[in-house]
């Protein structure tokens, strides 16, 4: 197991906010995932070039299954991170998966700014999806879970061994 160790203090309330909003969004996750990535590409069009499966594809963005898959991974893993942070104070991703994640993002030159833009886009997408359920506390809870997950990925951003 590999861990990112600064999550002490992630509360039960924060976990509940993430889990509650995810349960509302879950049934529409594919669509939301696309909205999320469209927002990223709107703010940072150059991010499209990072994805080999977009560069080499004639399929329109919204029909690209890999893009949807990636977007869902970000949503799901952030939600799982919130649960782990509350349970153990750290984000725990299987070491082999974390190494792969780190190596993939390193290989494709994903930089800090991309993670920042993605955070903004993720929070905006959730805000629009949950409507009146949205609050500053909910934003902080998702934001914190995302930050810890990204820190774990960044800690492994080096060439594949």
Positions touching ligand HEM (CB under 6 A) are 40, 47, 50-53, 66, 69-70, 73-74, 77-78, 101, 104-105, 108, 110, 114-115, 118, 146, 149-150
| Residue whose CB is less far from ligand HEM, 50 or 83 | 50
Least distance in angstroms from the C-beta of 137 to ligand HEM:
21
CB of 130 to ligand HEM, least distance (A): 19
| Smallest gap from residue 132 Cβ to ligand HEM (A) | 26
Are 36 and 75 in contact by the 8 Å Cβ rule? The answer is yes
Q: With respect to ligand HEM, which residue has the nearer C-beta, 138 or 145?
A: 145
14 or 78: CB nearest ligand HEM: 78
**Residue 149: both structure tokens together:** 């997950």
Query: With respect to ligand HEM, which residue has the nearer C-beta, 138 or 150?
Result: 150
Shortest CB 99 distance to ligand HEM, Å: 12
């Amino acid at each position: 197991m590999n861990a990112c160790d600064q999550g002490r203090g992630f509360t039960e309330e924060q976990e509940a906010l993430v889990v509650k909003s995810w349960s509302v969004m879950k049934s529409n996750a594919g669509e939301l995932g696309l909205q999320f990535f469209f927002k990223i590409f709107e703010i940072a069009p150059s991010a499209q070039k990072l994805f080999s499966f977009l560069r080499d594809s004639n399929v329109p963005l919204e029909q690209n299954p890999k893009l949807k898959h990636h977007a869902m991974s970000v949503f799901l893993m952030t939600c799982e991170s919130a649960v782990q942070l509350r349970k153990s104070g750290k984000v725990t991703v299987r070491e082999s998966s974390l190494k792969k994640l780190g190596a993939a993002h390193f290989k494709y030159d994903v930089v800090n700014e991309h993670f920042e833009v993605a955070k903004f886009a993720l929070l905006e997408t959730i805000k629009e999806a949950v409507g009146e359920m949205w609050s500053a506390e909910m934003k902080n809870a998702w934001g914190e879970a995302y930050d810890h997950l990204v820190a774990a990925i960044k800690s492994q951003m080096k060439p594949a061994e």
